[in-house]
Each structure stands twice: as C-alpha cells, then as structure tokens.
Amino acid sequence: MPDGAISLIAVLLLVLVAEFVNGWNDAPNAIATVISTRVLRPSYALAMASFLNVLGAAVTGTAVAATVGTGIIKPEAIGLPVVAAAVLAVVVWGVVATIRGLPISISHGLVAGLAGAGIVAVGPGVLLWWGWQKVLVGLGFSTLLGSLLAFAIMTALYWILRRVGPRMVRSTFGRLQILSAAFMAFSHGSNDGQKFMGVFTLALVLGGVLPQFHVPLWVIILCGAVMGTGTAVGGWRVMKTMGFGLTKLEPVHGFAAETAAASAIQIASFLGVPLSTTHTINAAIMGVGATRRLSAVRWGIAGNIVTAWILTFPICAALGCLFAWLFGIIF
C-alpha cells in the first residue's frame, strides 16, 4: 500500500476517534437534565440520544460541515499532517476533560486546533475570516441566546402554570420533557455531528479521494454512527456535573432548558454556524436556574465549567501547534 494511502487511512481513523470523543463528552448535552429529573432511566435516555444524534447528523444538511471543512483555514494551503494535528489536539483535551467530569466545547477545540496547526504549517495567512465570523456568532448563540431563551420560556411557564398544582405540573412535564430531550438530541446531532464530517471530507480531498469538497452520504452515516457510539458509552462524570451540579431541576425546568437550547442550535445549524452545544445547554440550565433566584445556580461549579470553556481555545490551539511541529519533523 502506498505511503500516501497509509497516511490518509491513519488520519481518517484519527478523525473517527475524535468524533467518538465528541459523542462521549457531549452525551450529557441531550440527556443530563432528563436523567437528573428522573423522567427517563439512564439506559433509555442513552439509547434515545444515540439514535437521534445519528438521525440529526444524517438528515439536516451539511452547512456546518462546509464551514468547518472549508471556512476555518484555507484547505488548498494545508496537508494531511495539519488535519491530524488538529484532531489529535481535540482527542487529548477531550479525554482529559471527560475524565475530570468537565463539559467542554469540542467545537471550539476543533477550530482552535485547526488554527494552531495551520499557523505552524503555513502561517497566519491560512486563517479565513468569514469562517471565524461564524464561530464568533456561534459564541453569541450558545451563551446569550441559550440563556435568554431559557429564562424567557421558564418565566412564561411560571405565569401560565401559576394556578396549576405541583403534582400536575410534574406529571405533565415529565411526559413533555421526553419530547424536549429528544429535540435536544436531534439538534445536537444536526450541529455537532457535522463538524467532524467536515474534517473527514477535508482529509478525503487532501488525500486525493474526492476532487472537491462535498460530503458523501457514507461519510454522514459513518461519522453519525461513531458519534452515536460515543454517546452510548456516555460521559457519566460530565453528566453528573451538568444534571446535578449546576442547579436543582424539576421536569418543567428540564423542558425549558432543553427546548431553549435545541431551538438555538437549530437556528445555528440552518445558518451553517458551528456553535458549542455544550455552552448552549449549560447556559440554558443557568438561565432556568436564575428564574428562581440567582443563588439557585451553584456559581462555583458554573465557574469551573466556564473556566474549562475559556481554556479550550488556547489549550487546543497550543496542542495543534505542538503536534503540527512534531509531524513536520517526522514527515
């Protein structure tokens, strides 16, 4: 087998490992609240999230994949070592964060890794501003829109349900939260699932398998299935942090948080904006908690999560730089 083919296969396998870590760390995005409110058993929630993550990745288009694959760094200026360095950076940081129970943005880790690796290999001119604009818009979607939508939905529900008894509220929203969790899982797949499809396709173009950037159906199915497998494994420590650590949740709160987060993610996916689903659901949970009182949110834990978010950019960029430098020496 030619050396180029071996290199391509190695990079593609590494992308799939990163996609698995994506599902592993991001599994709590869709199901942490529905488990913490005891609406669904963990095994049922994981099965639902795995299936709907795959479905969301498969049927919602490839606009986000195109942004990540062609809009972050100039694809014509890089080679396979840059892609390998970027996804390896995501794998390392994603595994460390998941073991420590920290929900991070795999999305931001990926674009930071691509930027760091690309700059080492080519220089700052490799960055594409139009794609980074979408990343910045995604920051607004994930933090502001997620929290504000959740706050607004929860405030409206308090007013609508002001004369309804607690038992009826819990019974009703116990059923409705299954739907909102399903919506969140589908939305997660529609945005997060596409990011590594974009990198996988970019590797196929750089390896000469595809003449131009176009995400084939088999790539969509393969990446979606690998992400779903990572979700099925489940990042239980991360799930505990999100579902039980941030604030006390009842089914009505879980419904509001999941509905708000999923709506923000769907808007971003339609616009081809790669956003952090982790940021979105965590911001929505904080927004829901703040409707009771600010002290209802455990801000110490929230601070740890935000710190992990902030560190993701420089850590993955630095790892991307390091791995690109090492690959440059080796290859």
| Pair 153, 176: CB distance under 8 Å | no
pLDDT of residue 293: 65
- Reply yes or no on whether the pLDDT at 245 is more than 60: no
Segment 104-110 shows an average pLDDT of 86
- Reply yes or no on whether the pLDDT at 243 is more than 60: no
* pLDDT tens per residue across span 23-74: 887 766 667 777 777 788 877 887 887 788 778 877 776 788 888 888 899 9
Q: How far apart are CA 141 and CA 280, in angstroms?
A: 7
C-alpha 221: how far from chain center: 18
- Reply yes or no on whether the pLDDT at 91 is more than 80: yes
User: How many residues in the chain?
Assistant: 331
Segment 149-174 shows an average pLDDT of 90
What token pair was written down for 193? 């699932």
User: Assign residue 164 a region: left if phi > 0, alpha if psi is -120 to 50, beta otherwise?
Assistant: beta
Greater confidence (192 vs 326) lies with 326
| Pair 234, 23: CB distance under 8 Å | no
Nearest one of 19, 16, 44 to 30, comparing CA atoms: 44
* pLDDT tens per residue across span 253-265: 889 988 999 999 8
pLDDT of residue 2: 62
Greater confidence (224 vs 246) lies with 224
**Other C-beta atoms lying within 10 Å of the C-beta of residue 13:** 11
pLDDT of residue 241: 60
- Reply yes or no on whether the pLDDT at 153 is more than 70: yes
Which DSSP letter does residue 241 get?
Answer: I
pLDDT of residue 118: 94
Question: What string of DSSP letters covers 11-38?
Answer: HHHHHHHHHHHHHHHHHHHHHHHHHHTT
Phi, psi of 329 (to 5 degrees): -70, -45
For the chain, the farthest-separated pair of C-alpha atoms sits apart, in whole angstroms, at: 72
Kindly give, in sequence order, each residue whose CB lies less than 8 Å from that of residue 61, ignoring residues fewer than 6 positions away: 269
Q: Which residue has the tokens 């956003």?
A: 275
Which range is most confident: 2-6, 36-40, 251-255, 323-327? 323-327
- Reply yes or no on whether the pLDDT at 231 is more than 80: no
73 by DSSP, 3-state: which? Answer: strand
- β-partners of residue 127 are 73
- Reply yes or no on whether the pLDDT at 6 is more than 80: yes
- Reply yes or no on whether the pLDDT at 240 is more than 70: no
pLDDT band, residue 113 (cuts 50/70/90): very high
* pLDDT tens per residue across span 265-296: 888 888 888 888 878 887 888 888 778 765 55
Alpha helices in 60-105 (DSSP H): 63-70, 80-99
User: Assign residue 104 a region: left if phi > 0, alpha if psi is -120 to 50, beta otherwise?
Assistant: beta
| Pair 237, 101: CB distance under 8 Å | yes
Greater confidence (61 vs 241) lies with 61
> Which amino acid belongs to residue 194?
Q
Nearest one of 150, 146, 111, 113 to 131, comparing CA atoms: 111
- Cα dihedral sign, 190-193-199-204: negative
- Reply yes or no on whether the pLDDT at 103 is more than 80: no
